[in-house]
Structure 1
Amino acid sequence: MDTQHTYRVIVRGTWDGLTDGSRARLLAEVEEHGLAQMRFTPEGSLHYDRALKHFSYRFTVVSDAAEGEEMAGAIAEDKAETALRALGHGWRGLRSSVTDMDTMKINYKGSSRR
């Protein structure tokens, strides 16, 4: 059995071909998708601002370590596409950045001793 790793994936894209209805819905909900709401979740967390130019989704993906970061990115991009289709908003240029939380090195600052 392969080892499972937890990945944090940020999927970025550009809004494209938004209808007037999509634009109005996004603007009406913009406060629910700002900086204060940024979280990594399995279902994804959508973030954008009033300019309605770019957006990002933040996902937590658990996947076999042998499949690596590339697979985690593909899974997250697929989830983002599915969510955007369900919302009925147009987009283009999805790309992802992936961090393997199980291999990430954390540098703790030691206490100062004099």
Structure 2
Amino acid sequence: MTKRTFRITVRGSFDALTDGQRAALQAEAAEHDLLQARFTEEGHLSYDLAARPFFTFRFLEHGEAEEDVVAASVRAETAAELWLTDRGYGYKGLKSQAQDMSLAAVGPRQKQEARRKG
């Protein structure tokens, strides 16, 4: 079987943060800048707390079958919950969305690159 790559996005919003928690998040804001967002196996967190209370975790997972995306989504949500809970951050509205990259449409730039290589 071929290895499939899944991109899982877990979104939510911070809830009832203390002043200390808000300050800690603001101090680390450069590491979690939206312009630096990327999909990683350990999960990358991005937020702009000065603008809004929302956050996004981006996870990169792998599987062998299309059905593996469900388990990958559960693992991603669990990892996001653990990260938030371990730090004592309140949150609400946690939702995930997954994309199997083997089923993703190929864009014009990707087609052009494939022609050059082929």
TM-score normalised by the chain length of structure 2: 0.81
| Equivalent residues in 2 for 1:90-109, closer than 5 Å | 90-108=90-108
Report the equivalent of 1:77: 77
Whether the 8 Å contact between 1:15 and 1:52 is mirrored in structure 2 is: no
RMSD: 2.0
Report the equivalent of 1:63: 63
Whether the 8 Å contact between 2:66 and 2:100 is mirrored in structure 1 is: no
Ranges in structure 1 where 5+ consecutive residues have no aligned partner: none
Quote the offset at 1:10 in angstroms: 0.8
- Cα distance per residue 1:81-107 (max 9 Å; x no partner): 111122221111110111101221213
Alignment partners' CA distance in 1, 2:52 and 2:25: 8
Quote the offset at 1:57 in angstroms: 0.3
Quote the offset at 1:12 in angstroms: 0.3
The percentage of counterpart residues that share the same residue type is: 43
Q: Tell me, what secondary structure is at the counterpart of 1:8?
A: strand
Ranges in structure 2 where 5+ consecutive residues have no aligned partner: 113-118
| Equivalent residues in 2 for 1:1-114, closer than 5 Å | 4-49=3-48, 50-108=50-108
Quote the offset at 1:30 in angstroms: 1.2
Whether the 8 Å contact between 1:3 and 1:66 is mirrored in structure 2 is: no
Compare the two structures and name the one with the higher helix fraction. 2
Q: Tell me, what secondary structure is at the counterpart of 1:102?
A: helix
Report the equivalent of 2:116: none
Pairs aligned (count): 110
Alignment partners' CA distance in 2, 1:88 and 1:3: 39
TM-score normalised by the chain length of structure 1: 0.83
